[in-house]
């Protein structure tokens, strides 16, 4: 099964980094978050990716074009214009990079990679800025059991602030560091979709968000089911999120399920 990743947005909320590179190329532990997302899927046996490019997409192309070289020990004989590879760390990944337009919205980006999914009965889709320890294998099994067109992973994000607990005398009795968001479930990405989803992506989708008309149409037709994930999930939305993920990578990278 192939995995589609949205990687074309401007990333304006993390402009401290995204003015130089596309958001999915911002590094966590020396590797782009896009790489971390691919490794999550790879750890469950999914290694075939289609990446929807847009803003500064050439940087993602250059990264994968030079991936082998960057992960190898090399001797350059400049006098004879020769290169010798001594040791290389190859990855079992197949990556198709598709230019889907600078200003195209997410529904339009998905529509534009349809031809690369021909013959696929189902595929996966996620965003290029979120990591999780979601059990991809269990997610796919859940999707196949209910038989609907689409499955979305529902998550409860941590709040941005700690919460004080007080008693009737207004005395502080406890403090909860960034509790979950009041029990609300939100779209956490990590979709599984049947190819029938493209019925909801007809016509000009350049200015349509995946989360709007297509997902609302699926909802109205009762073709969208939520897989509730109770574990770790984090989106790199702003610079503070990147800093937190960097700290986690050193101390406890909960999304890292590979060796």
Domains of the chain: 2-155+185-251 (3.90.550.10)
What is the pLDDT, as a whole number, of residue 161?
Answer: 61
What is the pLDDT, as a whole number, of residue 177?
Answer: 67
Burial of 245 (0-12, 13-18, 19+ CB in 10 A): buried
d(C-alpha 210, C-alpha 233), whole Å: 20
d(C-alpha 60, C-alpha 73), whole Å: 22
d(C-alpha 232, C-alpha 134), whole Å: 7
What is the pLDDT, as a whole number, of residue 182?
Answer: 63
- SS3 of 79, please? coil
d(C-alpha 34, C-alpha 252), whole Å: 19
What is the pLDDT, as a whole number, of residue 162?
Answer: 65
d(C-alpha 229, C-alpha 129), whole Å: 17
- Give alpha helix (H) positions in 90-154: 106-112, 136-146
- Give alpha helix (H) positions in the chain: 15-18, 33-42, 57-65, 67-70, 106-112, 136-146, 213-220, 239-251
What is the pLDDT, as a whole number, of residue 85?
Answer: 87
Per-block mean pLDDT, blocks of 10 residues, the chain (259 long):
97 92 96 98 98 97 92 93 86 96 97 95 97 98 96 86 70 68 84 97 96 95 95 95 96 94
Q: Is the pTM of this model over 0.85?
A: yes
């Amino acid at each position: 099964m192939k995995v589609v990743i949205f990687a074309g947005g401007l990333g304006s909320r993390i402009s401290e980094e995204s003015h130089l590179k596309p958001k999915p190329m911002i590094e966590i532990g020396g590797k782009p978050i896009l790489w971390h997302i691919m490794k999550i899927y790879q750890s469950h046996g999914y290694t075939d990716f289609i990446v929807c490019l847009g803003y500064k997409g050439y940087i993602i192309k250059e990264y994968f074009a030079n991936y082998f070289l960057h992960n190898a020990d090399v001797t350059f004989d400049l006098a004879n214009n020769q290169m010798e590879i001594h040791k290389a760390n190859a990855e079992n990944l197949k990556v198709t990079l598709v230019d889907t337009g600078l200003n195209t919205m997410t529904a339009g980006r998905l529509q534009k990679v349809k031809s690369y999914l021909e013959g696929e009965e189902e595929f996966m889709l996620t965003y290029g800025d979120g990591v999780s320890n979601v059990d991809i294998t269990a997610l796919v099994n859940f999707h196949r059991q209910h038989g609907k067109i689409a499955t979305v992973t529902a998550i409860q994000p941590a709040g941005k602030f700690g919460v004080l607990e007080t008693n009737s005398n207004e005395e502080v009795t406890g403090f909860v560091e960034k509790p979950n968001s009041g029990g609300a479930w939100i779209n956490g990405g990590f979709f599984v979709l049947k190819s029938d989803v493209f019925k909801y992506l007809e016509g000009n989708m350049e200015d349509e968000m995946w989360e709007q008309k297509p997902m609302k149409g699926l909802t109205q037709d009762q073709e969208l089911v939520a897989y509730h994930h109770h574990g770790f999930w984090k989106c790199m939305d702003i610079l503070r999120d990147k800093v937190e993920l960097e700290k986690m990578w050193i101390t406890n990278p909960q999304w890292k399920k590979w060796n």
